[in-house]
Amino acid sequence: MMHMNVKIVAVGKIKNKFLKSISEDYQKRLSPFVKLKIDEIEAESFHDNGDKIRVKVVEADKLLGRIKKVENKIMILDERGVEFTSDDFAKELMGADKGLTFIIGGTLGLAESILSLPYKKVALSKMTFTHEMARVFLLEQIYRGITIIQGKNYHY
């Protein structure tokens, strides 16, 4: 049975109770296959456009502090990144035998200091989602990928 380490480093918490419930459900479903760690960075508040750049830089510094350079594979969620089919995403999971870290930005997205890192950028869609929804969609796709690898009846 596959058991891999997955870490999600995300700005902000899931505050919406329905999305939080879905997130918890997928975390429970993943537990037999994945050692999952969700590392939440506190979101910075902002009041005007001048604040937005500063906020993204502060959040980026916090994110960078939570990423270990020894981790096998790091993927950054970005709507301009590569879009995968679920089967191709499962292959990406299989290629991360020593662990996989996903980075999810906050309300304002990610600073250029994160986006310029030499890690694969992954798009869940060309559309933009809230950071809360992105985390739920990511968890579902990780679960779907694991079931594809395991040959379980979830992905048709």
Distances (CA, A) of 76 to 28, 88, 123: 23, 16, 9
Q: What is the pLDDT of residue 2?
A: 60
pTM exceeds 0.85: yes
- Coil/strand/helix, residue 77: strand
How close are the terminal C-alpha atoms of the chain, in Å? 21
Distances (CA, A) of 2 to 5, 32, 44: 10, 9, 37
**What residues does each domain of the chain span?**
4-150
Nearest 5 degrees, angle CA 33-CA 123-CA 82?
Answer: 100
Q: What is the pLDDT of residue 155?
A: 64
Q: What is the pLDDT of residue 71?
A: 61
pLDDT in tens, 8-30: 999 999 999 999 999 999 999 99
Across 4-152, the runs of DSSP E, i.e. the strands, are 4-11, 34-41, 73-83, 100-104, 120-123
Low-confidence ranges of the chain (pLDDT < 70): 1-2, 69-71, 155-156
Contacts of 137 (CB under 8 A, 6+ apart): 124, 129
CATH number of 4-150: 3.40.1280.10
Tokens coding 62: 């916090």
Q: What is the pLDDT of residue 50?
A: 72
Name the strands in the sheet holding 73-83, side by side, starting at the edge strand that comes first in the sequence.
34-41, 4-11, 100-104, 73-83, 120-123
